[in-house]
Chain A
Amino acid sequence: MNPAVAELCERLDVHVELLDRLVEATQQQKKALLGYRPGTAERDERLSAANARLTELVTAVDRHGPRTRDAADVVARSYGQADYATLSALAATLPEPEREALRERLSCVRSLTEALAELSQINHLHARRGLQLVSAWRSIVTRGETTPTTYNAKGRPRSDTPTGSLTLNI
């Protein structure tokens, strides 16, 4: 097999591995988000752990992306392709067995990414619902007051009331 294609296949295998972990982490996040309600510390911890894992994996994919792109550029140059729109288009120009090997990996990446996109949309719905719930909950707890009253050490209301601690990011 062409060494440049072999290198690209290796890069895509790493992608598949990362995406597979991302799907797993997103499912964990979904479990934590499903039926979310404030006041369940254990659930908050599980959600925070899932968030951290997802952030770590997204960063890894972002870091890995340029290398895959570089490997694809090398393949394109070695086969005299000055420009290519997508990796699928690039694969279509390759001879067998390089084309089949590349297509197999691209198919894996595509299906995993589509699954990930669907999962993330569902999770997004759950997260938005949770935040709406938190908003309603907060208005109940604060009785509609949007600015929390805080006090200094002498018991007087603070003039430099910190803001943002209760800002909802819906």
Chain B
Amino acid sequence: MTTLQHILSITNSGLQTSQAVVASASRNIANANTPGYAHETLPLSSQLGGLGVVAGTAIASRNALLEQGIAATSARLGFYQSQTNQLDSMELAFNDLDGTGLGISMRDFESAVSAVAANPASITDRGQMLESARSLAATFASTRESVARAANDANEQAVSIAQEINSLAQQVAQLNSRIRSARPGEERNSLISQRAAVIDSIGGRIGVDVVPRSDGTVSLISSSGRPIVDSTFPATLAVNVSPPPASEARVEFVGEGDTRLPAGSVGGELGGLVEFHNDIAQPALERIDELAYSFMDAFNEAHRSGFTLNGATGYDFFDLPSGAQGAASKVALSRDVDGHPENIAAAADLAAIPGDNTNALVLQGILSQDGVMADGSSVVNAWETLGSSVSHTLLRTQAGVDLEQASLDQLENLLASETGVNIDEELIRVTQANTALSAANTVLQELQTMTDTILGMVG
């Protein structure tokens, strides 16, 4: 090959390679902030016969280990975050710091009963006691409603997230299909980046293990071992709540045999919401109902044994519902005492009416009396334990959020430093490259002048 052809060949290969390298750099810069994008490099090699340079297939810098770590951490973060959000709103119902709440109402009612005990003949104090009982009933109902709303919200969000997961699973399956038929290089790398971003989203919502397959597709496996996406086949999830009294939220595969995902095997936001619904909100609802029912039952029993101002006995104070389920929303005064303050049975001795307060003192102590609840505790203690349990769970999930968020930030930084695109670094590289090439250009110009001089001298 002549020198001219040699030079033209090198120039041509150089120009083509330049275009490929610039296109690759352009994709890197354009995708600097694209989630899931991995920095792309273009391997270059000498053309056969040393006639210039040829660009190979673009390679995306991916780190499977870090990506798996991020997916797992995102799932745990989603789990704790969703529970924290729900607990934040539910905790308000258990928090008496604003001067309202069930604990305050219980103490107010105790005070009202205490006032009747201090002055059993006072119709005014008896009227105040009835008013306080109505207030307590309203607080029981509103507290139950808040918790029921939190449970319902969690369920609705879980249904919505399941739909999002279904949509994302379809996207992954479609991307899998396109990746399988894509040529290696730019197009395939771009599709893999898109898929990585979608998998991140799914991971945060349910928690999946990513299992790569030899054809370039991946399967997403749930913690139970059932695939959410099996290569190009997406599964469909649904969240259903069993009828009361169980009212258990269940995650199920649609249209398959035994499809229920076992409790505790669902991760991510969906797992957090389902666990919140089943293990926090529903038990709290049942406990509040039990509190209300046990209190009314014990109060009625004591009340029936006392005597009214008119000497009557055997009256219920509360209208006791037929069962504990929903009792907190059904607390109401019995027809015997509602509007009849004289029928409050404050006396234990018929002969000592109206000055006897013996039964009023018993009624005053019902809320704090051990053994009223089935587990042997008092109503007040049971309420405080429930409140502190909710607060403790909230603190635990908040700590989980902080921990997992810090881990996620660190892992994402590690991944970004390895596979991401840093504009500042690119600019530094450009400047360094410019310096080196300009120096080469200068010295080559001197070299050409020198060779001209020598050839002129030699002749």
Contacts and interface: CB of A to CB of B under 8 A. Distances in A.
Asked if chains A and B come from one complex, the reply is yes
Contacts of B18: 129, 132-133, 136
Contacts of B45: 35
Interface stretch (B220-228, B371-379, B430-438): B430-438
B455 A110 contact: yes
A46 to B, nearest CB: 9
B395 interface: no
A109 B458 contact: yes
A159 interface: no
Interface in A1-42: 15, 19, 22, 26, 29, 33-39, 41
A40 B53 CA distance: 16
A33 B437 CA distance: 8
B430 A88 contact: no
A128 interface: yes
B64 interface: no
B444 interface: yes
A58 B454 contact: no
Given A35-B53, A140-B22, A140-B26, A85 B433 contact: no
Interface in B268-321: none
Given A41-B432, A54-B443, A116-B451, A36 B456 contact: no
Name the interface size band of chain A.
35 or more
Nearest to A86: B459
B22 A38 contact: no
A11 B429 CA distance: 43
Contacts of A65: 453-454, 457
B441 interface: yes
Interface in B56-113: none
B414 interface: no
B29 interface: yes
Contacts of B446: 55, 58
Given A117-B451, A125-B11, A166-B434, A142 B427 contact: yes
A86 B17 CA distance: 44
Contact of A54 (B17, B52, B447): B447
B458 A37 contact: no
B439 A48 contact: yes
A117 B448 contact: yes
Given A127-B441, A133-B22, A136-B22, A141 B426 contact: yes
A168 interface: yes
Nearest to B454: A113
B21 interface: yes
A94 interface: no
Given A65-B453, A127-B440, A141-B29, A118 B3 contact: yes
B430 A124 contact: no
A69 interface: yes
A134 B434 contact: yes
Nearest to A39: B429
A101 interface: no
Contacts of A54: 443-444, 447
B236 to A, nearest CB: 43
Interface string A40-79: 0100100110110011001001100100110000000000
Nearest to B440: A127
Contacts of A137: 22, 25, 426, 430, 433
Of A34, A47, A132, chain B has the most CB atoms within 10 Å of the CB of: A34
Contacts of A68: 457
A124 B441 contact: yes
Interface of B: 3, 6-7, 10-11, 14-15, 17-18, 21-22, 25-26, 29, 42, 44-46, 52-53, 423, 426-427, 429-434, 436-448, 450-459
26 contacts: A34-B46, A34-B52, A36-B433, A39-B433, A41-B432, A47-B437, A55-B443, A68-B457, A86-B456, A113-B455, A117-B451, A118-B3, A122-B6, A124-B445, A125-B7, A126-B14, A129-B11, A129-B14, A130-B433, A130-B437, A133-B22, A141-B430, A166-B430, A166-B431, A169-B437, A169-B441
- 10 tightest CB-CB pairs across the interface, nearest first? A86-B459, A35-B53, A38-B433, A35-B44, A88-B459, A169-B438, A117-B451, A39-B429, A129-B14, A136-B22
Given A39-B433, A44-B432, A140-B22, 15 more contacts: A29-B444, A34-B53, A36-B433, A37-B42, A38-B432, A41-B432, A48-B436, A51-B436, A116-B451, A124-B441, A127-B440, A131-B441, A136-B25, A168-B434, A170-B441
Interface of A: 15, 19, 22, 26, 29, 33-39, 41, 44, 47-48, 50-51, 54-55, 58, 61-62, 65, 68-69, 85-89, 106, 109-110, 113-114, 116-118, 120-134, 136-138, 140-142, 148, 165-166, 168-170
